[in-house]
Structure 1
């Protein structure tokens, strides 16, 4: 696997098609954000967390601040369970490389990425590298009927099976879920990478 191909995949780990990185990748994030703005189906102006006009700096602050928030208190027990199950499916299906299960929890009308790009991107990961995500401090920080924001600290360890290259990438993520007729779906992802990610090649 080429270095360029590897780097492209690693820039994506933990955030699907949008990366808000404090340690590189900002130019790529801007490029991807510009491309995805053209196909936004929801009205992002109703929600500051998905405002298409928000700068990378503003969105970085949103994710930074999210970690200090407490879990929302107005969540009906049934909805809390459903949202938590959807988030767990989003993580577990990725770890198990279950493509159908993973894509079934992704919104067909996402806000800050294209469904087709996510489909292609995830398939590429499953076909070319071994990657696992672990989650800590997961909490639903906002609930508004048919929208929920889930905060989590995510670490992804990815290995190239064709070499000894291994990369660990971690960061804070806010995953925005929208409630559809068939359940809660991932509609937007905002990921802020931590500094000092480890890359190892033996």
Structure 2
């Protein structure tokens, strides 16, 4: 019986964390979950390989060769701020790195979502293989690939979850700063 309860709690946790939004017919997912909406399946997450700089199914990750060194440093710094804010559960810092014109989430819904996540869970994300995989000077857009290891513990129950995945974080340059405009995440299947 106790085992069944733990299984149901784990499933509930996955459903809660996988939810893009609590609003029906929403046009955006959460920046922290990487989901997009609009009729795309859960396997491809709406990824069009012409828009996202790598294949979500794996393979080799190639660094974009056209990124000016100074811009690359700023893009990576913005990604590191995004990760730092998440790991420190700093809502204001987290919100400061988000675009004013996001493509896969809304600012207000994201604030409510991330405040709830930070309140309910002790979290840790580790990024590796951080690579700028796409850069477009004309559209002021950049994409950063990273392998992520996420550890989370529900504060109220002590239930722990660990997962590995791949993420592309899309940045847009706004007022001279690189801001997160959308996120594509795919959890590794074991």
TM-score, normalised to structure 2, is 0.76
| Per-residue deviation, 1:155 | 1.3
Contact kept, 8 Å, 1:10 with 1:167, in 2: the verdict is no
Query: Aligned to 1:55, which of 40, 43, 56?
Result: 40
Distance 1:179 1:66 in 2: 27
Aligned match of 2:3: none
Report the RMSD for the aligned CA atoms in angstroms. 2.9
Distance 2:162 2:62 in 1: 28
Unaligned regions of 5+ residues in structure 1, if any? 19-27, 38-50, 197-202
Distance 2:147 2:182 in 1: 16
Contact kept, 8 Å, 2:133 with 2:145, in 1: the verdict is yes
Distance 1:166 1:60 in 2: 33
Distance 1:161 1:176 in 2: 30
TM-score, normalised to structure 1, is 0.71
Question: 2:189 aligns to what SS in structure 1?
Answer: coil
**Alpha carbons of structure 1 residues 67 and 140: separation in structure 2 relative to 1, 3 Å:** farther
Kindly tell me the number of residue pairs found equivalent between the two proteins: 166
Q: Does 1:177 align with 2:162?
A: no
Distance 1:98 1:90 in 2: 10
Distance 1:54 1:70 in 2: 29
Distance 2:97 2:187 in 1: 23
Q: How does 1:100-139 map to 2 (within 5 A)?
A: 100-139=92-131
Unaligned regions of 5+ residues in structure 2, if any? 1-7, 29-35
Question: 1:112 aligns to what SS in structure 2?
Answer: coil
